[in-house]
Structures are given as C-alpha cells and as structure tokens.
Amino acid sequence: MTSSLTPEAVQPAHAYPRDLAHLVRERWRETDGLDGAPASLVNAASGLPSSPVLERLLSVCYQASLLHEEGRPVTLRISFAEPGEFALSGSPPGGLHRLMFEQTRPFDEHELRRLAPAAVFERSLIGIHLDGTGELRIWGLIHSGPRWLQAVRGGRRIVQAIPRALMVAVTGPGRVLVSKGPRTLAGLAGGTLANVATDVFGAPWFAAVFGRLQSLRQTERPGLSGPELSGMLDRGFGEKLGEHVLRRIVATIRAARHGGTLVILPLRGRELCAELRCLALKYPFSDDEPRRRILTLTVRIMNELAEVKVPASAPPAVGTGWAAYEATEDPRMNALDEALFEVAHLVATLANVDGAVVLTDQLEILGFGAEISGALPEVETVERCLDVQGDHRVSERTDRVGTRHRSAYRLCQQLRDALVVVVSQDGGVRFVCWRDGAVVYFDQIATGPWEV
C-alpha cells in the first residue's frame, strides 16, 4: 500500500560519520551473525574495530572527502586489514599486490589527501591498521587493478580474491561507502544514510522497465527453435542484462564528473515526443541496426548462453542464467560481453554533450543532445520515495533544484511511461518517473559495492 507523507511528517535530519558508524556496526553483525562488539580494540572474529575507532576512521575519511589535491577532489579506497591478510605473491588480475612502507604513516585527512593521487580509486587501496598503541596508522598500498569494476559498474562478476575486511570508499564531497570485503554495508551521501536496500537498480519495478528484452530473444541456429531455447534460459535474464548495461552507462557518466541525463522511452515514445512536441533531438541517429546494437548483442548473448557449457568448477547451483553468464569462460561469450559494454561506454560519452541521451526500453539509441521543451507545464511539487519500491514518500517543492531536474519532472508529467535518469556533476543519481498519479523520484546512493 502506498503512503504519501507531508514534509512535516518527515524530519530530514542530516547524518554524519557517527551515524554511519552505528549503521555499519548493525549491518556488520547482520552479515556474520556476531553479537555485540567486544571491549577490545579489534574483534578478531570479525575484523571490525571498536565504536570509537570506527567513528574516527570514518570521520577522517569524511574530512578527506571535503579536500582537494592540486584542484582535484580527493577520491580513494582504504582497507582496514593487517598486511598479513594479503599474500606476498598476490597480484592482479586475480589477486592483490601488497606494498608496505618501511615506516607507517599517520592516519589523518591530510595524509590521505597526499596519498590519493598515488592510490588511484580504480586500481589501488590504502592499507591501514591499529598499531601497538591502539592508533590508526597507514601501512602501505594495495594494488587491485581494475577487474573489480567489471562487477560493480555493470557486467559479469570476475572472481578476485578480496579479504572480508572493512573497506571504505570516498568518491566525492561527503560521499562515503562502507563494505565488508566486496559486500556493501552502508553509505553516506548528501547528509543521508543508506544501506544496500537503496540500490534502485535492484528494485522489481526497475527490472520491469526492460521486461520485453527476454521476449525478443531469437535464434538463427538450425535445429534449435526459439521456444526450445527459451526453456533453457532462466526467466528474467534479459531484464538483468538490461539493468547491468544501464548500470555501466550511469557509472561511466558519474566517473566523468560532467553530469548528464538519460531519457528511456517505450517503443512508441519517439512518436509521442514528435506528436506532443515535448522532446527535440539535436543529433538523431538513422533508423538502422547500429542504433539497435545493444539489443542485437543482448539477443546474441541470450542465444549463446543457452548453448555454452558451464565450467566443471562452477557451483552446483549454477543453471542457465545470470550465474552461468558470470561463470562461463567461453571465448564467444567473453567477446560479446566486451562488445556490449563498449557500446555502453559509447552511450555514456554521448552525455558529455549538453542535452539528454534518448534510449528506448530496448536500449535502442535514438540520439543525443535532446532538449526537453520549456513549454511543458511546470511541476510545482514532486514526491521523494523513501524506499526502493516507492511505498513511502514525502512531498517536496521543485523550486530548490536546478533546471536539469525540473525539466525531467516536466517530461515525466507529460510522458507517463518515461523514465529519466539525472546524473549530477557531484555524482548524485536520481531516477524520475510517474507513479500512482504523481511525479516521483528515487535517489540512488550506491550503484554497486565500493562505489558511492
């Protein structure tokens, strides 16, 4: 049942590192079943520091997020773990390469600021631990390589040995995400706390946006009909693949720090736009196969997956679906996977041009540089969803956001089957759509583990 709350019913108190530490401790216990924190500085069974130490650790990371190094915002990842947790012979892409300093360094925001350029977010972590006196110290660097991005920014999860240690990611001012190894626990962004339940990409309503991808599957291979293959492929695989393509697009736009807008329309959406004169494409693409390349590759992946053999080393539960897609080492699948996400990167770069990138719900690229008509009726209030399903909401005025967001609200009020994804320069992501008689939006905190 949907409930809408007035602004007076929800007091949006700002959250800070101490609140994040409290949520992390709750989530940590939930993930491993351990009881309350011990009195010692470190719980040897879980690797989670005591409350005061955890609060200081997150506070330093938060302060570092507000700094700049040579004009660039500080971004970094840290791992709270002893050097011995990383194999001496470890090395990317399958492992982690540990480099220890001869002498440990102080753990504070200015030391993190100085080290951040050497520990590039996409490839390295900063290692910290407690010394013999109970002080947090920086002991060295951990080189991971970029393989972890394959999963967290959309795509197949490629196995990499990640210790189940406390890890913290900083990707922008006031933006901190905490994980237990590769498992996301909680985040802080824009003064708001979030746990993994705020991942809009995982919401059932979001998966339904790409519901037609599964039904479009087809094959040209002799001897195998579409219905036969459909029975060999798990339901929902097409939606999952569409979700990961869009996840990669959004993550790439965020990383560029330029911001951008994606408009996703139903198949007839382009005709509706023309009829209603609400969206003008400055750079439309010709109606031929290349603009439908994501769909072409998606169909080929679904067909190929029905025939590839899952490695003997794969878990017994792996069937013919997403788990099999991640587990397969088939060269054809690897090539298709790389081609698919190269197109996703192309779509993301189109957002560097002013205006929106326009796609269909089959991920057909209609064009870019789109301008949402300013003649559309204004939307004075929208509803902010407090959960990923939109069951609980609070009403907000629209005069406190920029033109990019307000234009998205106007479009969704006019085209009620549209989904608009607005990516801000600071990395914020907002999903806007029409639901239950109102324009609503969902704020996305984390697009995957280790990424705010």
The second-level CATH assignment, the architecture, of 17-190 is 3-Layer(aba) Sandwich (3.40)
Nearest to 16 by CA among 221, 192, 167: 192
| Close Cβ partners of 7 (under 8 Å, ≥ 6 residues apart) | 394, 395, 396
| Parallel, antiparallel or unpaired: strands 136-143 and 166-172 | unpaired
Domain residue ranges in the chain: 17-190, 200-444
Q: 241-244 contacts: CB < 8 A, separation 24 or more?
A: 241/210, 241/213, 241/298, 241/301, 241/302, 241/325, 242/209, 242/210, 242/213, 242/298, 242/363, 243/201, 243/206, 243/207, 243/210, 244/154, 244/155
Q: Give the pLDDT score at 334.
A: 83
Q: Are 175 and 127 in contact (CB under 8 A)?
A: no
d(CA 215, CA 233): 11
Radius of gyration for the chain, computed over Cα atoms and rounded to the nearest angstrom: 23
| Close Cβ partners of 171 (under 8 Å, ≥ 6 residues apart) | 65, 75, 121, 177, 427, 451, 452
Widest pairwise Cα distance in the chain: 71
| Close Cβ partners of 302 (under 8 Å, ≥ 6 residues apart) | 214, 217, 229, 233, 237, 238, 241
> Do 17-190 and 200-444 share a fold?
yes
Spans in the chain with pLDDT lower than 70 = 1-12, 32-46, 147-161, 195-198, 212-233, 269-270, 273, 276, 308-320, 445-452
Backbone angles phi, psi at 352, to 5 degrees: -70, -20
What pTM was estimated for this model as a whole? Answer: 0.73
Backbone angles phi, psi at 164, to 5 degrees: -80, 60
Q: Is 188 exposed, middle or buried (0-12, 13-18, 19+ CB in 10 A)?
A: buried
Number of Cβ within a 10 Å radius of residue 345? 12
Q: Give the pLDDT score at 442.
A: 92
Q: What fold does the segment set 200-444 form as a domain?
A: YojJ-like (1 (3.40.1700)
Q: Give the pLDDT score at 227.
A: 38
| Parallel, antiparallel or unpaired: strands 76-80 and 381-385 | unpaired
Q: Give the pLDDT score at 195.
A: 66
Nearest to 371 by CA among 321, 407, 395, 398: 407
| Parallel, antiparallel or unpaired: strands 438-444 and 381-385 | parallel
Q: Give the pLDDT score at 155.
A: 56
Q: Is 148 exposed, middle or buried (0-12, 13-18, 19+ CB in 10 A)?
A: buried
Q: Give the pLDDT score at 206.
A: 86
| Close Cβ partners of 139 (under 8 Å, ≥ 6 residues apart) | 83, 100, 101, 104, 127, 128, 129
Q: Give the pLDDT score at 42.
A: 42
